[in-house]
Amino acid sequence: MRPLARLGSLWRGIVQRSRMDAELDEELDGYFEELVARKLAAGASPDEARRAARREMGGVQQLKQAVRESWLVSSWDAVLQDVRQAWRGLRSTPGMSMLAVVTFALGIGSATAILGVVRATLFAPLPYRDPSRLLLVWADLTAAGHPRAPLSGPELHDLGHRTSSFESVAGVWANSITLSHHGEPEFVRIGFVTASFFPLLGVQPAAGRLFAQADDVDGQSTSILLSFGLWQRRFGGDPGIVGRAITVNDRPTIVLGVLPAGFRLLLPHDAGVPDSIEAFQPFPWRIAEGPRGQRFLRVVARTKPGVGLVEARQDVDRMAAQLSREFPNPGGTAFKTVGLEADITKPLRGPLFVVTASVALLLVISAVNVLGVLIARAAARRREIAVRVALGAGLSRILRLSLAEGLTLAALGAAVGVVVARAGLSLLLALQPEALRRLGEVTLDWRVLAWTSGLALAWGALFALAPLREYARGGVATALAAARGEARRMRPRARSALVIAQVALTLVLLTGAGLLARTFARILAIDPGFRAASVLSFRVPSATPRYPTPAARDALARTLRTALGALPSVTSVGATSHLPYDTIPNWGGPYSLVEATDEALPSADYRSVGPGLLETAGVELLSGRFFTDADGPQAEPVAIVDELLARKAWPGASPLGQRLRVDPFSSGSPNTWVRVVGVVRHVRHRSLVEALNEQVYFPLSQAFRNPVAYLVRTTGDPAALAPAVRAAVRGVDPTLPIYETQPLASNLERARGVERFTMILVGVFAGMALVLAAIGVYGVIAYLVVERRREFGVRLALGATRRQIGVLVLLEGAKLVGIGAALGLLGAIAAGQLIRAQLFGVGPADALAYGAPLPVLVGAALVACLWPVRCATAASVLDVLRAE
Amino acid sequence: MGKSTELLRGTLDLMLLKTLELGPRHGISVAERIRQTTAGTFDVSPGSLFPALHRLEQNGFIRGSWTQSAEGRRVKAYTLTPQGRRQLAVEKREWARIALAMAQVLES
């Protein structure tokens, strides 16, 4: 039976049941009618004849069932038989088959893992109700350097009342609280939210209730919602907690409810709303009545059903125009309305595209190895096949065998590949790139596995077709001629082409990896403006009810600094409002040199730092002085500015002693004058690859922030310092919670996370590709050597040196690598253009990235040729005789 | 069936293949032919005939096609395929071996 017919019969047996049933009915009816006709002819009456015929037919339903079983059983039997035969065939060359399965498994396994990542990070819907209707609204302060700024309370209120596109709008602002209930006081990340926030996302509480409108209007935070994690960790999952009071910032606060276990707050990275938020409270003041310029709210909106992004955007822009007229301000009022899902995934699309493209190349390279193996097997079996054909097997029989082998190989590869994918995923998770925070949700679900199966099936079909050419040209005559050793030497042309393709694709991958590695090296080489090494950072609250006055808070800060500075190996200590690459929202505001102006004010990042901080962080002082203990609450308000601000505000002049108008208390307008006492180098604290805003530093005691982070510089390992630091803080005040204790360098690493992730993955794929390509080269050259062993023997007999024979073989290898590399170079140039957006400080035509892979590739190919060369030079005249 | 002998599955397949060797036949004519050639020893009921025919068809040993019977009825006639012919040869040999072995057992 032809294999296609066999597949067809299986198909019919499963799918085309009704037609087959109808035909069976007709066949049985025909039988019955003929039976009746025969009885009639034998002289029975019509009635008798039908009765007798029915009796003879027996149970028709039972009969049909038996026939139907034969359809299925025999089709499955046939498939199983084919698979068994294919399995026997593969087992007959165990080394080759293993190699094929393992290489294919590496390719398809890596592809599966990456597919899982891509699905979870880019395509899985956000875990909220109807997420496609969720939008983000940003204030567009591009003129001031903030294209994506938060909104103010009144603006959020307007958004809810002056537009018609939205079903609901909500705001969130990340902050922190001290939870001092049961045991040690603990700092907890908290989100202040409007009552609309959770209903808008479609979140249902696991226990208790969510905030109601009344909780909002109340304007006081006397209630709290716990995350599931905090509830479990801190309250042991006590179901009685709902309705009870816990102590938050030393005030009794009622637990209204508990959020569901799976709830995660997924906002874009620059929203400054970390995933690690563990509790929520209503805003402790009436935000709608706050100053219009005080922007801190990250705003999520849900459109009404049927309202698209474009419509909503027009609606918001209309409102912005209204606001601009009613509340004239220099920069005007503008908003940016974007889809939440698209906004979250945007920064990941580029890197994941690069990774996906590399894994696709790797899959092709690995599959090409399988093709090579199958073609080699086919070539080796040409004689066997020819004999089969001569005995009447028919090309169809061979096609069937080949199909079974190809699919079996692909299926085995895919099965091992799933194991590879699982292992790969756990390695990926170990890399822990911050930006891929949804990676934790990656599972190889049925969709991913369906993709893998589809891929395997497609490749399996190709695997099945690959050897056919080899079989087809092996006519009986050729095969018998070959058996007599008369045939002209057959060059493995198809395999050579495949290996050339492998070499070319590998060069593309190597070059891509090279470009990304160079990018990462450039990023590593960037001077961020601070020295992260040997510094430990941790956070503590700077204001609790025990330290109610500025003087008490200052005293605490001084005591802490003294206690920490007294630790052995500690060289300096300082406190700051923000760490570089912090997960808390950025803090910034406008600055001005004059009393009043109609122009839009430029804005700067604000930081409050205590004495010793800039020294501890290693920020370079360009002129003037750092802050000291003398810059206290009662002293003259002072500031340190960065070089960018100094150049912009006072080009060519010294900023020292100049006055600057700023807004350290986020009042909405810059109404505080400070005197510039120092200029420091710009610190890249939010983006490594570009200098963003100008920076203004205030003394912590003049612009108070809560909590603060301490930096402790040590002569030893910063991580090892953590216990001593904890003990020192406890020694000062055992009720002070200390949290997020980690080396400062880990923040820097997090900032480089995506680049590191991309580089490592593409590098690993390129390395695997290199090995696979080397295997491919080896396969072809080894095959050539076997084919030409007789010829080499003759050459040796005629006086050729072994060296000459070795060179002959090497030349064959060089040909493959040379052509492959030339093609690969073209591909690499194209690929370089494609990934340009992921490169930094490296041109897509970087000489090193393009030059370095070549010797690597040639080296690998050389190693691959070593054994074949040895075999070739070991040829002898005896081989000729033996072959005869 | 009554007096007729119960068939081993393999034996029935062999008989069906042999019956179709000389030309295409449809269901009832296969059954009649077997009854005639065995002088009624084997009376193949539809309940064993049709599953067997379909199984042989699935295995590619015979091929069914719709044609007209002598009486002008639309019937499904079965033809031996080349593969079926080979199978018949194999099974014949096998049967001969068994028959010989049985004879040896019974005569010893």
Length of chain A: 884
* Predicted pLDDT of residue B1: 38
Q: Which ranges of A488-603 would DSSP assign to H, the alpha helix?
A: 493-525, 550-565
CB atoms within 10 A of CB B25: 21
User: Looking at the partner chain, which of B46, B51, B71 has a beta carbon nearest the beta carbon of A37?
Assistant: B71
Amino acid identity of residue A397, one-letter, is R
List the structure tokens of A588: 């910034």
Most confident of A218-222, A641-645, B6-10: A641-645
* Predicted pLDDT of residue A428: 81
Chain A residues touching B86 at Cβ < 8 A: 392
Closest-CA distance, B8 to chain A, in angstroms, reads 16
Name the more confident of A786 and A394: A786
B83 touches chain A (CB under 8 A): yes
Nearest to A604 by CA among A174, A171, A146, A245: A146
Report the SS3 class of residue A245. Answer: strand
Distance CA A357, CA A348 (A): 14
pTM of the shown model: 0.73
Give the model's confidence band at A25: pLDDT under 50 very low, under 70 low, under 90 confident, else very high: confident
Which residue of B16, B50, B53, B78 is the best one to mutate when testing the A interface, meaning the one whose CB has the most A CBs within 10 A?
A: B50
pLDDT of residue A855 exceeding 70, the answer is: yes
CB atoms within 10 A of CB A143: 16
Of the listed ranges A78-87, A422-431, A731-740, B35-44, the least confidently predicted one is A78-87
B60 touches chain A (CB under 8 A): yes
CB atoms within 10 A of CB A679: 22
A57 touches chain B (CB under 8 A): yes
Q: Is the peptide bond before A707 cis (omega within 30 degrees of 0)?
A: yes
Average pLDDT for chain A? 84
State how far the alpha carbon of A291 is from the alpha carbons of A272, A281, A287, A421, A588, in Å.
21, 21, 9, 53, 16
Residue A304 DSSP one-character state = P
**What average pLDDT does this structure show over A437-454?**
77
Distance CA A49, CA A59 (A): 17
Q: In chain B, whose CA is at the least distance from the CA of A66?
A: B51
Chain-chain contact of B50 with A30 (C-beta, under 8 angstroms): no
At how many degrees (to 10) do helices A60-92 and A394-431 cross? 70
Amino acid identity of residue A620, one-letter, is E
Name the more confident of A711 and A481: A711
**What average pLDDT does this structure show over A699-706?**
90
Give the model's confidence band at A35: pLDDT under 50 very low, under 70 low, under 90 confident, else very high: confident
B44 touches chain A (CB under 8 A): no
CB atoms within 10 A of CB A296: 22
| CB contact at 8 A, A235 and A182 | yes
Q: What is the 3-state secondary structure (H, E, C) of A132-172?
A: HHEEEEEEEEHHHCEEEECEEHHHHHHHHHCCCCEEEEEEE
Strands A570-576 and A739-743, sheet pairing: unpaired
What stretches of A196-355 adopt beta strand conformation (E)? 207-208, 223-226, 245-248, 251-258, 279-282, 295-303, 335-339
**What average pLDDT does this structure show over A307-317?**
93
For the stretch A536-562, pLDDT in tens is 999 988 777 788 888 888 899 999 999
pLDDT of residue B2 exceeding 50, the answer is: no
**Strand (E) or helix (H) holding A877:** helix A877-883
**What average pLDDT does this structure show over A358-370?**
90
User: Looking at the partner chain, which of A34, A37, A75 has a beta carbon nearest the beta carbon of B58?
Assistant: A75
Distance CA A170, CA A188 (A): 22
Average pLDDT for chain B? 82
Chain-chain contact of A59 with B47 (C-beta, under 8 angstroms): yes
Closest-CA distance, A76 to chain B, in angstroms, reads 10
| Buried-exposed string A624-657: b where 16+ CB fall within 10 A, e elsewhere | bebbeeebeeeeebbbbbbbbbbeebbeeeebbe
* Predicted pLDDT of residue A262: 82
What stretches of A318-477 adopt beta strand conformation (E)? 335-339
* Predicted pLDDT of residue A773: 86
B27 touches chain A (CB under 8 A): yes
Which residue of B26, B54, B69, B73 is the best one to mutate when testing the A interface, meaning the one whose CB has the most A CBs within 10 A?
A: B54
Name the more confident of B30 and A402: B30
**What average pLDDT does this structure show over A648-669?**
89
Q: Check the CA dihedral A132-A137-A143-A145 and report its sign.
A: negative
Q: In chain A, whose CA is at the least distance from the CA of B77?
A: A27
**Strand (E) or helix (H) holding A698:** strand A694-699
Give the model's confidence band at A535: pLDDT under 50 very low, under 70 low, under 90 confident, else very high: very high
B55 touches chain A (CB under 8 A): yes
* Predicted pLDDT of residue A780: 80
User: Looking at the partner chain, which of A27, A56, A74 has a beta carbon nearest the beta carbon of B27?
Assistant: A27
* Predicted pLDDT of residue A165: 93
Distance CA A861, CA A814 (A): 8
Q: What is the CA radius of gyration of chain B?
A: 15
B58 touches chain A (CB under 8 A): yes
CB atoms within 10 A of CB A445: 12
Nearest to A531 by CA among A686, A747, A750, A272: A747
For the stretch A259-288, pLDDT in tens is 998 888 888 877 878 777 899 999 888 888
Looking at chain A, the whole-number percentage of residues with pLDDT higher than 90 is: 32
For the residues of A467-501, what is the DSSP string, one character each? THHHHHH--HHHHHHHHTT-SPPPP-HHHHHHHHH
User: Looking at the partner chain, which of A5, A9, A66 has a beta carbon nearest the beta carbon of B47?
Assistant: A66
In A674-703, the residues whose Cβ lies within 8 Å of chain B are none
Q: In chain A, whose CA is at the least distance from the CA of B50?
A: A67
* Predicted pLDDT of residue A72: 64
Looking at chain A, the whole-number percentage of residues with pLDDT higher than 70 is: 89
Q: What is the 3-state secondary structure (H, E, C) of A424-437?
A: HHHHHHHHCCHHHH
| Non-local CB neighbours of A154 within 8 Å, separated by 6+ positions | A288, A289, A290, A291, A292
* Predicted pLDDT of residue A485: 46
* Predicted pLDDT of residue A444: 79
Give the model's confidence band at B4: pLDDT under 50 very low, under 70 low, under 90 confident, else very high: very low
User: Looking at the partner chain, which of A1, A5, A35 has a beta carbon nearest the beta carbon of B28?
Assistant: A35
Give the model's confidence band at A419: pLDDT under 50 very low, under 70 low, under 90 confident, else very high: very high
* Predicted pLDDT of residue A439: 53
A41 touches chain B (CB under 8 A): no
* Predicted pLDDT of residue A429: 78
**What average pLDDT does this structure show over A127-140?**
92
Most confident of A126-135, A441-450, A577-586: A126-135
Give the model's confidence band at B7: pLDDT under 50 very low, under 70 low, under 90 confident, else very high: low
Chain A residues touching B81 at Cβ < 8 A: 1
Chain-chain contact of B76 with A33 (C-beta, under 8 angstroms): no
**What average pLDDT does this structure show over A629-646?**
93
Closest-CA distance, B12 to chain A, in angstroms, reads 15
List the structure tokens of A561: 């600094």
CB atoms within 10 A of CB A622: 16
* Predicted pLDDT of residue A487: 41
List the structure tokens of B107: 């005569």
**What average pLDDT does this structure show over A79-96?**
78
Give the model's confidence band at B101: pLDDT under 50 very low, under 70 low, under 90 confident, else very high: confident
CB atoms within 10 A of CB A700: 25
Distance of alpha carbon A175 from the chain centroid: 28
State how far the alpha carbon of A138 is from the alpha carbons of A43, A171, A295, A301, in Å.
97, 11, 10, 11
Q: Which residue pairs, CB below 8 angstroms and at least 24 apart, start in A474-478?
A: A474/A382, A474/A383, A474/A385, A474/A386, A475/A386, A475/A389, A476/A386, A476/A387, A476/A389, A476/A390, A478/A382, A478/A386
| CB contact at 8 A, A793 and A877 | yes
B69 touches chain A (CB under 8 A): yes
At how many degrees (to 10) do helices A17-41 and B46-58 cross? 140
In A861-880, the residues whose Cβ lies within 8 Å of chain B are none
